[in-house]
Amino acid sequence: MTELLDDRPTLTTPSPLDDARGQLADAIAVLELGQGMFDLLAAPRRELTVSIPLRRDDGTVEILTGHRVQHNYSRGPAKGGLRYSPHVDLNEVRALAMWMTWKCALLDVPYGGAKGGIAIDPRLYSQAELERVTRRYTSEIMPLIGPSHDIPAPDIGTDEQTMAWMMDTYSVNTGHTVLGVVTGKPISLGGSHGRASATSRGVVHVALQALDYLKIRREGASAAVQGFGKVGRGATRFLWEAGLRIEAVGDQYGAIRADNGIDVAALEAHVDATGTVVGFAGADPIDAAHLLELDVDLLVPAAIEGVLHAGNAAQVRARLIVEGANGPTTTEADGILNARGVTVVPDILANAGGVIVSYFEWVQANQAYWWTEDQVEARLSERMIGAWQHVVNHATARGLTLRAAATSLAVQRVAEAHRQRGLYP
């Protein structure tokens, strides 16, 4: 399961949904699309909130709450992860679904955006209890999902086993095996080679391009990574293999630092044995919040949204931020970082590797023909580097930040799909 690291700002900070709508408003202004298009794209197309009764292993019954939001599906079926976290609420899911729409459009993947979540801390439940939760949630949202309707995938707190349970529940209820209903499945159940590491690899493809863009030599460049789950762990390893010096790593339990660089292979062995980066003999402990303020070339926030905010953005000393998480930088922090000359590669570009290979998995499942890992990786690299160059060219031509450039390109594609389809009476 992915870590549930929480370094969220105070309640006075705007919510992820405020940030998502603010980014949309900025894009609408750049594109001169008007209030009507903003209203159309700001509102989710469908939302479903369900109660999930769970019989615990001790026989007691608990009621959980789950959500599924389909923000937009003008360009294709809805697509988005399923998150298990105690912080899940409907507005968070709405924001994540909107960002997913822009991510798919920016990478020219024929999907719209969706997201799901259950307010649960998976660390406090047994595997059998999580299976019961997943199967009940799947049965409750079945009217919305399907390989041509809405395709869930793993996110924080969920993994390929969660997707296997969802696929099986959906298949049993439809009377036949439907491999394309979810992505991020085990290889043995129609998953794609390269899917587990796709988001991490995509982050690193873009990070290396951004280092080149800023004329920072890759070999020996310093990096700090917040989060050591399914995105942060892979990103740390791939950056290390590319020759960067990993100075700091954090997870939900704490953070560590080594000025001369961390041996990532040794750190992975430590985490496999203990479940945390804390206590690793090859580094010193540091305050988790301080990790975000280290003097490094590259910072990769790869945990949750909102960790870079008005309260700490002025202390960030990294030259380059590549967003491995969804929405880790608030609108206020964006403004502060931009004014200080810090380059921020936005989430809808940086962490899009997962949805690209999810799309590849969906295509393979629909064709019943599977690609090799080398084929998947080559196509992922081509998509990520091509999207990076497209965003950089647009930002340069229009005098925009990378986030404004990426969001306006994505919104333009979705708005054009709306115009071409028209409004149903």
What tokens appear for 6 in the block? 């929480």
pLDDT tens readout for residues 212-248? 999 999 999 999 999 999 899 999 999 999 999 999 9
Helix (H) or strand (E) holding 364: helix 353-367
**Mean local confidence (pLDDT), 94-110:** 96
pLDDT tens readout for residues 177-195? 999 999 999 999 999 998 8
% of the chain surpassing 70 pLDDT: 96
- pTM of the predicted model as reported, rounded to 2 decimal places: 0.90
CA distance 365 to 210: 33
Query: Chain-wide mean pLDDT for the chain?
Result: 94
**Mean local confidence (pLDDT), 205-217:** 97
- Sheet with 61-72, edge to edge strand ranges: 46-55, 61-72, 112-119, 78-85, 150-154
**Mean local confidence (pLDDT), 304-329:** 94
% of the chain surpassing 90 pLDDT: 91
**Mean local confidence (pLDDT), 386-393:** 97
Per-residue pLDDT at 367 exceeds 90: no
Active-site residue, from 103, 115, 185, 230: 115
**Mean local confidence (pLDDT), 122-132:** 97
Q: Which residues is 50 bridged to in the sheet? A: 66
Per-residue pLDDT at 9 exceeds 50: no
What local confidence, expressed as pLDDT, does residue 309 receive? 95
CA angle 278, 221, 269 (to 5 degrees): 30
pLDDT tens readout for residues 327-344? 999 999 999 999 999 999
What local confidence, expressed as pLDDT, does residue 7 receive? 43
pLDDT tens readout for residues 151-178? 999 999 999 999 999 999 999 999 999 9
For the domain spanning 44-189, the CATH number is: 3.40.50.10860
CA distance 355 to 183: 9
115 is an active site residue: yes
Q: How many helices (H) and strands (E) does the chain have?
A: 13, 12
What local confidence, expressed as pLDDT, does residue 88 receive? 96
| CA-based nearest residue to 259, from 234, 296, 208 | 296
Helix axes 127-141 and 160-174, enclosed angle (nearest 10): 50
Per-residue pLDDT at 4 exceeds 60: no
Per-residue pLDDT at 2 exceeds 50: no
Reported confidence tier of residue 13, pLDDT bands at 50, 70, 90: low
Three-class SS state of 419: helix
**Mean local confidence (pLDDT), 391-408:** 96
Q: What are phi and psi of 204, to 5 degrees?
A: -75, -40
Per-residue pLDDT at 260 exceeds 80: yes
**8-state DSSP, 308:** B
pLDDT tens readout for residues 347-364? 999 999 999 999 999 999
What local confidence, expressed as pLDDT, does residue 304 receive? 83
CB 337, CB 329: distance < 8 Å: yes
In which residue are the tokens 């945390």 written? Answer: 276
Domain spans, the chain: 44-189
Residue 242's CB is within 10 A of a number of other CB atoms, namely: 16
pLDDT tens readout for residues 54-84? 999 999 999 999 999 999 999 999 999 999 9
Q: Which residues of 307-325 are buried (b: 16+ CB within 10 A; e: fewer)?
A: bbbbebbeebebbbbbbbb
CA distance 330 to 60: 40
